[in-house]
Structure 1
Amino acid sequence: MASRPRPDSALAKVAGRRNAAAMRYSIMLAAFSVAFASPAIAQQTDDPGLEVSEERLRADMDTIVGFGTRHTLSSQTDPERGIGAAVDWALAEFARISDTCGNCLDVMPIGRVVEADGRRIPQDTLVRNAVAIQRGVERPDEVIIVQAHYDSRVTDPLNATDAAPGANDDGSGSVMVLEAARILSQRQYPSTIIYALLTGEEQGLYGAGILADWVGEQGMTVKAVLNNDMIGNSCGSDGFCDAEHVRVFSEGLRADSTERLRARQRRFGGENDSPGRNLSRWLADVAEDYPDGMQVRQIWRTDRMGRGGDQIPFLDRGYPAVRVTVAVEDYEHQHQDLRVEGGTTYGDTVDELDWTYLTRASQLNMRALDRLARAPMPPVLSANGAVRTDTQLQWEHVDGAGYYVIVKRRTDEPHWREGEGMILSFETSASGAERPVGSMIEKIVPVRADDWIFGIAACTFGPVCSPVSSAVPGGAFYPLPVDSED
């Protein structure tokens, strides 16, 4: 697979490559000591992907499909069959995982009663998500969400009684989320990780909307949402197979855009620089660091043709979110009644899964989550290049950043070019907090802004870098205020 230029490929050599004349701040060796407040966190550089256990994935899958159906409209009270038993088991499993890490997870059902909608919710229905929260030790309000939908269905979306094993759709994502909680909870991270098994997806993305609202009510800053929906098979309905890639879907124009923002994007760019799009680029770079592991094929649209997933409610609220899914879909083994018809077997059953593929897709998730939880928040970058032959870049320092990498690409290029690092001098305030000398940081780039799009990543001295935030209207990794002019 051909490698493209990457913003973090110069990180290890950043000090030797910097242009001293362009630096606005001196380099101090002491800066390396402030990458993290906790030495234990800074030492976590092993590969959590290697800890993924196919045996555990299989065992969880057997339990999950054993509930018969996980349809959102199925029984909430039957102790052995239906969505109620399934969610209760997931909460208990999260609690058991928490016991192994000294009660490091806050386990809770996050849900509400959804009123009948006249479509796929025929009567008022409790939609309950199983959620476990691993609080960050430095920036607990800065969160990464890894999620999958836990509910299942057959051909008729209102059939809540027939067997609906939902092995690939989306038992595959669900067992990965449980495995992520087992592996990553044994570590400490600066940022918070939320592990979520959502229900109500097949009835209208209700569980995701409930969780997205709850996150906003808590005042959390969402760095990334990885929605894993069907990550367990490698061959499609037509016999075409691709065991080397997952697809990552990302939106172009922001779902929370305003009329003013769209007008500014038409004039100044930003159609290809939403936070989700840059999260997708970042995931592809993470995959390339492991050439023998699962690779990413980026799909630059919000979801598949005529389809949807649980990343959409988060996008609607302005949060960076992507869908991770199989490279090719097998339509005979999703949303189907269990049957044999015309010599073809239908149904989303365990025997149709590719366990090697699911294990490798899970490994990619572990590696991405580990980096996201250690990386700082992407800064908000502005670029001023009007009527001048250079470009003024400005941003405010973000907590946890030891240095920054400036990247650029021509307006017709899809990927970021290799970046230039910028290490800062730090000072200690009267309160003991360490910040750069001057919280507003500036860099002058000797190129005309009209021909380029600029971006920035915040990095620790690990090094671990955030996704890139673009200096275009709507390029920041934050929801847009209702009265926003950007």
Structure 2
Amino acid sequence: MKHIFSAGIALALTLTTATSHAQSPPSYQDQQRLHDIAKAVSAKHIEQDIRTLVGFGTRHTLSETASDTQGIGAARRWIKSEFEQISQDCGGCLEVYFQSKTISGETRIPGATEVVSVIAVQRGSHDPDRYVLMSGDIDSRVSDVMNSTSISPGANDNASGVAGTLEAARVLSKYTFNGSIVYAALAGEEQGLFGGKILAEQAQKDGWRIKAVLNNDMIGNIEGINGVINNTTARIFAEGTRQTETSEEAITRRFTGGEVDSPSRNLARYIDWMADRYIPNLDTMVIYRLDRFGRGGHHRPFNDLGYPGVRIMETNENYNRQHQDIRSENGIDYGDTIEGVNFDYAAKLTALNAVSLAGMAWAPSPPAKVKIAGAVKPSTTLSWQALSSEQNPQLKGYKIYWRYTDAPQWQFSRFVGNVDTFTLENVVIDNYFFGVASVSQDGAESPVVFPGAAGAFSE
């Protein structure tokens, strides 16, 4: 018995040593400038912007466009002027423009209507054709989706998202990034996601390499209709299998995995990590669904074309304040008014967007053409296409991540240097999911890319 017991201890020690050598918790180089960005976001600015947007009376897509004080026309011109002022303050660092298309013959836009979004682009220094994007929706509505004249403040839905996008631009415009950042105030969301469709289709036509879309739709409410008051959590909605997957890719995925590792899911994991590292007193819930149950948002048109996109929003919604005529019934106040917005919470979620955008824009591009091999072998080999040194002069190398297949977040990592292939000895491919991130000289990382078409970020 003594000899057997000793042999068992020796085997256990050997296994423990091998495992600890191969598997170490993810390491990350803290970025002080991301802490600075988070602290720079102003709840006061966000409140001022929400109050201004509410003051336009209604921002319904079919509302007044000629007035300087009322309707969606006045709202979009004001948003454009704010972006132009931000650009002026940073020496012309933003390209600001209206993006429009006339829509007609639709259920919610029956007559010819010009749907006009406001776009501001902060060009990257070395890789300007690589984009990360933050958006909010301009338009508002009341109970009747076709009512374009009644007062529709849309304070939380979605003046909060537009105000957050403006504030992110104010903060991030003070920095220079390797990749480009887009700040978008999108129109026509309530009438059929038209602003997002127009921008996504134009981006595809123009060859934009979009690596992330952060759709902010309702980021200011902390009082749920379920009675919960909560300013410490947020939700990130991220779809699974990408919409553009082919039948051949689906067959491959069946045998190699990837259902929970779409680029949208790994974008969500990236944002979740940013919350843990840089946003005090905020925990994010990554929800494995395109959007709320049976519902949709302005990230969907980008997902439809294969771009990674997520929705960031409050955890506990108050349906009495969404899509409601302003009224009081049975002691309940209905309507999306300014009283329902918590500006500090909106600032917290805006800061989460800002640090995530900055982290990705400073980091090298996510690795492309990631592949994996190791079936019926004791070790796992990953390979990828080396990034362009001209577009990514900040590249230090690559980091391999892996996790147990039922784990929601990456658990282990290893920096492997500036190589394009690496073998993890004695890490069996069957037992984990794997991915690769690119790392800059100062430690900024891209989102993790799962091998194969299932996890590929748009190239």
TM-score (norm 2): 0.90
> After superposition, what is the alpha-carbon deviation per residue over 1:274-294, rounded to whole angstroms, capped at 9, x for unaligned?
000001111111111136242
Task: Tell me the equivalent position of 1:38.
Answer: none
- SS of the residue aligned with 1:356? helix
Task: Tell me the equivalent position of 2:378.
Answer: 389
Contact 2:38 2:279 (8 Å CA) reproduced: no
Q: CA deviation at 1:45?
A: 5.6
- SS of the residue aligned with 2:278? coil
1:291–1:106: structure 2 CA closer, same or farther, 3 Å change rule? closer
Contact 1:7 1:407 (8 Å CA) reproduced: no
Task: Tell me the equivalent position of 1:201.
Answer: 189
Q: CA deviation at 1:100?
A: 0.4
Q: CA deviation at 1:12?
A: 4.6
Task: Tell me the equivalent position of 1:26.
Answer: none
Contact 2:224 2:317 (8 Å CA) reproduced: yes
Query: How is 1:34-49 mapped onto 2 (pairs within 5 angstroms)?
Result: 47-49=36-38
1:396–1:8: structure 2 CA closer, same or farther, 3 Å change rule? farther
Task: Tell me the equivalent position of 2:397.
Answer: 403
Contact 1:8 1:405 (8 Å CA) reproduced: no
> After superposition, what is the alpha-carbon deviation per residue over 1:384-429, rounded to whole angstroms, capped at 9, x for unaligned?
12343322211112242211110112223222112001123xxxxx
Report the RMSD for the aligned CA atoms in angstroms.
1.8
Task: Tell me the equivalent position of 1:416.
Answer: 410
> Is the aligned partner of 1:250 residue 2:224?
no
Q: CA deviation at 1:472?
A: 4.1
Q: For 1:122 and 1:153, locate their aligned partners in 2 and report how far apart those are by CA, in whole Å.
A: 16
Aligned letter for 1:342? N
Q: CA deviation at 1:79?
A: 2.0
Contact 1:404 1:457 (8 Å CA) reproduced: yes
Q: For 1:374 and 1:332, locate their aligned partners in 2 and report how far apart those are by CA, in whole Å.
A: 41
Q: For 1:131 and 1:7, locate their aligned partners in 2 and report how far apart those are by CA, in whole Å.
A: 43
> Is the aligned partner of 1:74 residue 2:63?
yes
Match of 2:166 among 178, 184, 204: 178
Q: CA deviation at 1:260?
A: 1.5
Query: How is 1:49-448 mapped onto 2 (pairs within 5 angstroms)?
Result: 49-117=38-106, 119-290=107-278, 292-380=280-368, 381-399=370-388, 400=392, 401-424=395-418, 441-446=420-425, 447-448=427-428
> After superposition, what is the alpha-carbon deviation per residue over 1:187-230, rounded to whole angstroms, capped at 9, x for unaligned?
11001000000010000100001011111122111111100000
Contact 2:213 2:308 (8 Å CA) reproduced: yes
1:271–1:46: structure 2 CA closer, same or farther, 3 Å change rule? closer
Contact 1:269 1:472 (8 Å CA) reproduced: no
> After superposition, what is the alpha-carbon deviation per residue over 1:133-163, rounded to whole angstroms, capped at 9, x for unaligned?
0000110000010001110000011000000
1:110–1:291: structure 2 CA closer, same or farther, 3 Å change rule? closer
Contact 2:179 2:361 (8 Å CA) reproduced: yes
Q: For 1:80 and 1:7, locate their aligned partners in 2 and report how far apart those are by CA, in whole Å.
A: 58
Q: Say which structure is richer in helix.
A: 2
Aligned letter for 1:455? G
Contact 1:116 1:125 (8 Å CA) reproduced: no
> After superposition, what is the alpha-carbon deviation per residue over 1:39-82, rounded to whole angstroms, capped at 9, x for unaligned?
xxx99565211111122111111111111000001122222211
Q: Which moved more, 1:258-267 or 1:248-257?
A: 258-267
1:90–1:223: structure 2 CA closer, same or farther, 3 Å change rule? same
TM-score (norm 1): 0.85
Where does the alignment leave 5 or more consecutive residues of structure 2 unmatched?
Answer: 1-22
Task: Tell me the equivalent position of 1:30.
Answer: none
Q: CA deviation at 1:238?
A: 2.3
Task: Tell me the equivalent position of 1:429.
Answer: none
Contact 1:200 1:206 (8 Å CA) reproduced: yes
Q: For 1:46 and 1:450, locate their aligned partners in 2 and report how far apart those are by CA, in whole Å.
A: 38
Aligned letter for 2:458? Y
Task: Tell me the equivalent position of 2:456.
Answer: 476
Q: For 2:79 and 2:155, locate their aligned partners in 1 and report how far apart those are by CA, in whole Å.
A: 15
- SS of the residue aligned with 1:443? strand
Aligned letter for 2:444? V
- SS of the residue aligned with 1:414? coil
Task: Tell me the equivalent position of 2:3.
Answer: none
Q: CA deviation at 1:444?
A: 1.3
Q: For 1:93 and 1:417, locate their aligned partners in 2 and report how far apart those are by CA, in whole Å.
A: 42
Match of 1:10 among 24, 27, 33: 27
Task: Tell me the equivalent position of 1:459.
Answer: 439
Aligned letter for 2:456? A
Q: For 1:455 and 1:208, locate their aligned partners in 2 and report how far apart those are by CA, in whole Å.
A: 29
Contact 1:268 1:473 (8 Å CA) reproduced: no
Q: Which moved more, 1:283-292 or 1:303-312?
A: 283-292
Where does the alignment leave 5 or more consecutive residues of structure 1 unmatched?
Answer: 1-5, 14-41, 425-435, 480-486
Q: Which moved more, 1:368-377 or 1:130-139?
A: 368-377
- SS of the residue aligned with 1:61? helix
> After superposition, what is the alpha-carbon deviation per residue over 1:411-454, rounded to whole angstroms, capped at 9, x for unaligned?
23222112001123xxxxxxxxxxx6xxxx11112223222221
Aligned letter for 1:273? D
